[in-house]
Chain A
Amino acid sequence: DQQVKQNSPSLSVQEGRISILNCDYTNSMFDYFLWYKKYPAEGPTFLISISSIKDKNEDGRFTVFLNKSAKHLSLHIVPSQPGDSAVYFCAASLIMNYGGSQGNLIFGKGTKLSVKP
């Protein structure tokens, strides 16, 4: 059973518009969330994160919103650029060390974003 769900396998957006990527989680114990970006033939790279004490974190064109009551987070990219075309993975973790998990990241399936010029 997936603990982190990205229900949209793909998203297509026009250059300059906003891209919104969504992620849902089922484990209410998760308290740290990250977004990774992956280009073909490369490993995922860290993009932005948010802890559960916040509901918003912004870094340049990228903003992550967290709605704990809905167990939902989203990544907003504005304005979108063709270079943003990649697969975006949502990941969740526990800050506190429960058992032996050491805060290992649990990933979603990813959403492939295509930004068209």
Chain B
Amino acid sequence: ETGVTQTPRHLVMGMTNKKSLKCEQHLGHNAMYWYKQSAKKPLELMFVYNFKEQTENNSVPSRFSPECPNSSHLFLHLHTLQPEDSALYLCASSQGNPGWTGPERYTFGSGTRLTVV
């Protein structure tokens, strides 16, 4: 039990579908992240939320839309995706802090394996 739970574990969707990925953390953390892991590429940071405020959008296409209703939950809404968006999507959380100036250790979920057909 990592404390960060992602659902669903696997998702197959067509290019015209709309779906959402869910992430929930039970660690009392205040920062949450979406990462994308494609084959043979580094983990790519997509979005950062710190105390429910989006602090970073790493040039992600608008077909990915994050939502953070509270510090424990993070969603990634997907619509009109492309086959190249197929990847493992990882959620992570960390302590976070206003004006954070310290190193962070992330706790990751197990990821959602997304296939776009």
Query: Is A7 an interface position by the 8 A CB rule?
Result: no
Q: Count how many chain A residues have C-beta atoms less than 8 Å from C-beta atoms of the other chain.
A: 31
Q: Does A97 contact B (CB under 8 A)?
A: yes
Chain B residues touching A, range: 20 to 34
Given A49-B103, A96-B101, CB of A102 within 8 Å of CB of B56: yes
Which A residue sits closest to B58, measured CB to CB?
A104
Binds A, one of B43-51, B60-68, B71-79: B43-51
What is the minimal beta-carbon distance from A107 to any residue of chain B, in angstroms?
A: 4
Stretch at the interface among A39-47, A54-62, A68-76, A77-85: A39-47
Interface residues in B64-110 by Cβ distance below 8 A to A read 90, 92, 96, 99-110
Binding site for A on B (CB under 8 A): 2, 4, 6, 9, 31, 33, 35, 40-43, 45, 48, 50, 55-56, 90, 92, 96, 99-111
